[in-house]
Amino acid sequence: MSDKKKKRDKEEKKYKKKDFEMQAVENLAGWQKALADYQNLEKEMDKRLSNMNDFVASSFILELLPIFDNYQVAISHIPETEQKKSWAVGLEHILKMWEVFLSDHGVDRIKTIDSQFDPNLHEAVGQIADADQDDQIIIEEKSAGYKAKDRTIRPAKVIINNLE
């Protein structure tokens, strides 16, 4: 084999090696991009699934809240003479179980009385003008509101002080 042919073969191998190296770098970059895209897709799907679960849970809780509200009203109407009897105490324990259930599911009652009115949390169903109170302060709660994971599932219905 001649020196020219050996040199030419060596040059070809050198170019082929560079081509393979460039191809390997391109393949690696493509694989890394595909992996990153896949990981981002997984995160997005996990977030969507979590949001869907939160929505379903919120919808379920929203359907339970009127039952909870009416139960609280019923408990508040137990005559004082009956409150120490075992049946009334049992009803109080059930109310505590309701409260624990809601708390365990991340449901919190929205603070109202003496709070600043927030249209994201409260629904004004009435107003008064009291110069002794600050403007837009909640004076009375007509119906409790609830939020879950910083999302309002039912706004509180309130009476506000409106000085305008």
Query: Using one digit for the tens of pLDDT, what is the confidence trace for 14-30?
Result: 788 888 899 999 999 99
Greater confidence, 100 or 5? 100
Domain that holds residue 131: 109-164
Predicted pLDDT of residue 10: 78
Q: Is residue 128 part of a domain?
A: yes
- The answer to whether residue 144 is domain-embedded is yes
pLDDT at 87: 94
In this structure, is residue 53 part of a structural domain? no
- Domain containing residue 113: CATH number: 2.30.22.10
Q: Is residue 158 part of a domain?
A: yes
- How many structural domains are present in the chain? 1
119 in any annotated domain: yes
Q: State residue 68's pLDDT score.
A: 93
In a domain, 122, yes or no: yes
83-138 confidence digits (pLDDT tens): 999 999 999 999 999 999 999 988 999 999 999 999 999 999 999 888 877 888 99
Task: Please tell me the predicted confidence (pLDDT) of residue 2.
Answer: 72
- Residue 1 predicted with pLDDT over 70: no
Residue pair 114/138 in contact (Cβ under 8 Å)? The answer is yes
The answer to whether residue 162 is domain-embedded is: yes
By CB neighbour count within 10 A (0-12 exposed, 13-18 middle, 19+ buried), where does 117 fall? buried
Quickly list DSSP for the chain: --HHHHHHHHHHHHHHHHHHHHHHHHHHHHHHHHHHHHHHHHHHHHHHHHHHHHHHHHHHHHHHHHHHHHHHHHHHTS-TTTTTSHHHHHHHHHHHHHHHHHHHTTEEEPP-TTSBP-TTTEEEEEEE--TTS-TTBEEEEEE--EEETTEEEEPEEEEEE---
Tens-place pLDDT, residues 20-59: 899 999 999 999 999 999 999 999 999 999 888 888 888 8
Residue 65 belongs to a domain = no
